[in-house]
């Protein structure tokens, strides 16, 4: 089974080199527990590998046998500009790693489609050159999902796509689109992704979602990585649990791995310890 690196060196080695090609993976977590940092690290490390930076060899190392790099890396945001995301990345990862890694990342904003039917002033999210009249004529509640789907159809095959974030779409579901529209889109995405042969990472904050809503998102994807805060004495620790993952969970079960302890260092998200069944 061909795999693409997730960009987290120790995790990739444990699971056989990375995510199986064709996977749609939900990164669900509590605020600050590591899901967003995982996305940043995954995109940047794959970007470093694509530009041939020595920093990739230093922080990640060699790829495992049977693993290939994505042909391209795409970062999709519904609300944030590229500069804002790069700035936030620099709080998590060393700035030279961000600068080099972002050279190979195609960043796309879907802010116009996302905000156009809200009370948010157009100047806050659209370029001044945008035709305001045309924006006002768009009344289709599904515009943002259609734009998202069209972009993936054109750019996801063979590539790594990071989606930041499904939380934004979930927030819009109450007002402009049905929750069912989102989950059906993700089910269709999982089906198409198997043919495309890339890896798609879907970031979501689990806290605003009901257990039913989160469950539907899990059912619509090939894998779920759950990021949690765990309290022990006077300290809190970030942990990662692989709840489901086609081609990965069985490998962890064979090795009796039940939970990963994680940390955020200068090179981003990392695995600090592996908990096994004793």
- CB 216: neighbour CB atoms within 10 A? 18
Residue 106, strand partner residues: 74
Distances (CA, A) of 106 to 41, 47, 56, 223: 15, 10, 18, 24
- Any domain includes 235: no
- Any domain includes 269: yes
Alpha carbon 73 to its chain centroid, in Å, reads 11
Number of domains in the chain: 1
**N- to C-terminal Cα distance for the chain?**
30
pLDDT of the chain, 278 residues: tens digit per residue = 899 999 999 999 999 999 999 999 999 999 999 999 999 999 999 999 999 879 999 999 999 999 999 999 999 999 999 999 999 999 999 999 999 999 999 999 999 988 886 778 888 888 754 444 444 444 444 588 899 999 999 999 999 999 999 999 888 766 566 788 889 999 999 999 999 999 999 999 999 999 999 999 999 999 999 999 987 666 789 999 999 999 999 999 988 999 999 999 999 999 999 999 76
Range of the domain at 56: 3-18+35-109+179-209+221-229+250-276
- Any domain includes 139: no
- Any domain includes 83: yes
- Any domain includes 265: yes
Strands annotated E in 141-185: 160-164
Q: Note the pTM of the prediction, 2 decimals.
A: 0.92
- Any domain includes 117: no
């Amino acid at each position: 089974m061909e795999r693409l690196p997730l960009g987290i060196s120790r995790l990739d080695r444990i699971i056989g080199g990375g995510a199986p090609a064709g996977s749609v993976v939900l990164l669900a977590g509590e605020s600050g527990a590591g899901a967003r940092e995982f996305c940043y690290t995954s995109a940047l490390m794959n970007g470093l590998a694509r530009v041939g930076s020595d920093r990739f060899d230093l922080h990640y190392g060699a790829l495992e046998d049977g693993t290939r790099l994505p042909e391209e890396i795409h970062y999709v945001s519904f609300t944030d500009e590229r500069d804002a995301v790069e700035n936030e990345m620099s709080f998590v990862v060393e700035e030279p790693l961000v600068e080099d890694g972002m050279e190979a990342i195609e960043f796309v904003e879907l802010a116009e489609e996302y905000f156009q039917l809200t009370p948010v002033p157009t100047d806050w999210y659209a370029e001044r050159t945008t035709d305001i009249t045309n924006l006002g004529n768009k009344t289709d509640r599904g515009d943002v999902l259609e734009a998202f789907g069209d972009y993936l159809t054109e750019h996801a095959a063979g590539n790594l796509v990071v989606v930041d974030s499904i939380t934004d779409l979930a927030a819009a579901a109450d007002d402009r689109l049905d929750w069912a529209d989102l989950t059906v889109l993700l089910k269709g995405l999982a089906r198409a992704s198997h043919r495309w042969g890339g890896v798609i990472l879907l970031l979501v904050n689990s806290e605003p979602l009901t257990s039913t809503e989160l469950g539907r998102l899990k059912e619509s994807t090939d894998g779920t990585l759950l990021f949690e805060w765990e309290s022990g004495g006077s300290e809190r620790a970030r942990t990662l649990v692989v709840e489901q993952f086609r081609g990965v969970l069985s490998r962890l079960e064979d090795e009796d791995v039940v939970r990963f302890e994680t940390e955020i260092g200068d090179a981003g998200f990392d695995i600090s310890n592996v908990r096994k069944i004793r």
